[in-house]
Amino acid sequence: MIMTLKEIRKKILKGDFIGLFRLFGKDEKSMQPSEVAKIFLNLPASSAIKAFQSFPEKNKILLFPYLDSLVQKQIVNEIPKEDSAKILNNVSSDDLLIFLSNLKGVELSESLEYLNEKNKKAAHNLLGYPRESVARLINTEFVTIKKEMSIDEAMAHLRRYHQDTETANIVYVVDGEGKLVDDMPIRRLVLNEPAKKVEDIMDGFYIKLNINDSKESAVDVFKQYDRAALPVTDDKNVLLGVITVDDVLDVDEAKNTKEMQRFGGLESLEYPYVKTPFFSLIRKRAGWLIILFLSEMLTATAMGHFQSELDAALVLSLFVPLIISSGGNSGSQAATLIIRAMALNELTPKRWWYVMRREIFSGLTLGLILGTLGFVRITIWQKLHWANYDPKHHGQYWYLVATTVFFSLVGIVLWGTLSGSMIPIVLKKLKIDPATSSAPFVATLVDVTGLVIYFSIAAVILKGTLL
């Protein structure tokens, strides 16, 4: 590439599509659709539509599936109807379905109008399945042979009836009723003697997905069995389509993004950050922020409850942020470990007791470490300038305050670790996404209870001296 993406972007914004056209419009050696799509991600809608319209039809069809769903919608709405119809009827069936799955209501029915009868029927059928099912990802242009054929006949059959698309990497052996008998990488036809029969080179073993399976379970199957494509059948084992690993990579990426955003304490975004409109972004963030804020108000109630202790020993207030944040941090660590281990199927809720024992010991160990550090810090500190910070000059009781901080840290880190590890397990058991127990959520929970732990320990240890 001679021009940088930035330079191309500038040209397009000026309405000069020649640079882009030269790079993408000519032959196979030029820019790839996925590279052009990257430029489109950073264009305002009007320029994107104009640039798209400047391409020859073939390239429009190549580029369309790689565009962001928001840009796809804008293009289909803005370009002439017959152009939209041509594009939608010529992209592969899985790409069409993914586009349609992102539409709702009027938008969806308008787009369905563009389709020819065959595509409309297929789309209607597949859109009837739940949004989260693999039905929304399947490619219906698959390649079938019969087990009675010789390899030579099978190859001739494929040459006559099938196009050179990625779904042809694996061929499917079906019986007279279209029921799946075996899958076979097409290489096996090449690597065996042409006179052999298909049934001679079948291994009779295949992994398949059911049309009602969820997209996320499909990700797990692909990862477990290292396949590049998997067949999808109905309950009667009739082959309905094929799912390829590239679509699954996208699902996996979206799943990870959702998990991370939830864990960061916000609702997951539908579009990339740079494409999400400002008020939609605020809405996704404000919801959880308000819930957490309202819960965190309980800390003010708790602090109010211990106001007389604070009034008697103001020095206790110094350590409030330190103590509650330690609980939040250790909770966030534990939640991360457990959420991720469950997402990778390394751990199931059934093993909660194993996790609990482990996290009790972890929490105690970590609490003892932080508690000791806290104790040392107060000891050093009081030697230096304790009196400065205690207007009532209770300096002689520093060791009692240090002891309070020590035990509070042990208790709160233990509590944070336990909450952080157990809440995701409970959520999973309740079939709620464990990542909902986000870092901020665990921190808020531990803040409120942490204050109660701190002041209760203080009440016991400081009774008769400071309190």
Which 374-393 residues touch a second copy, going by CB under 8 A?
Answer: 374, 377, 388-391
Q: What is the DSSP string of 328-358?
A: HHHHHHHHHHHHHHHHTTS--GGGHHHHHHH
Q: Which of 127, 314, 356, 452 binds a second copy (CB under 8 A)?
A: 314
Q: Dump strand ranges (E) for 152-194.
A: 170-174, 180-185
User: By CB under 8 A, is residue 453 in contact with a second copy?
Assistant: no
Per CB under 8 A, the list member of 79, 85, 108, 322 interacting with a second copy is 322
Query: What is the closest distance, in whole angstroms, from the C-beta atom of residue 279 to a second copy in the complex?
Result: 9
190 binds a second copy (CB under 8 A): yes
Angstrom CA distances, 344 to 196, 339, 466, stand at: 42, 9, 51
Site stretch for a second copy (CB under 8 A), options 48-56, 70-78, 104-112, 294-302: 294-302
Q: Is 318 helix (H, G, I), strand (E, B) or coil?
A: helix
Interface residue with a second copy, options 185, 210, 214, 216 (CB under 8 A): 185
**Amino acid (one-letter) located at 33:** P
Both tokens of residue 344? 């990778």
**Which CB, 115 or 230, lies closer to a second copy?**
230
Q: How far is the CB of 150 from a second copy (least distance, A)?
A: 14
CB of 397 to a second copy, least distance (A): 16
Selection from 135, 132, 167, 127 nearest residue 254 by Cα:
132
CA distance 387 to 392: 8
Residues 357-376 that bind a second copy (CB under 8 A): 358, 361-362, 365-366, 369-370, 373-374
The two tokens of residue 402 are 């240090």
Which residue number, 115 or 410, has a Cβ lying nearer to a second copy?
Answer: 410
DSSP 118-163: HHHHHHHHHHTS-TTBGGGG-B----EE-TTSBHHHHHHHHHHH--
Which residues inside 85-124 make contact with a second copy, applying CB under 8 A? none
203 binds a second copy (CB under 8 A): yes
Contact 172, 143 (CB under 8 A): yes
Is residue 411 close enough to count as binding a second copy by CB under 8 A? no
Interface stretch with a second copy, choices 54-62, 81-89, 208-216, 311-319 (CB under 8 A): 311-319
Q: With residue 101 as reference, give the H or E element that holds it.
A: helix 93-101
Write down the least CB distance from residue 220 to a second copy, Å: 11
Residue 189 or 240: the one with the smaller Cβ distance to a second copy is 189
45 binds a second copy, rule: CB under 8 A: no
CB of 79 to a second copy, least distance (A): 25
User: Which of 406, 407, 405, 434 lies closest to 420 in space, CA to CA?
Assistant: 434
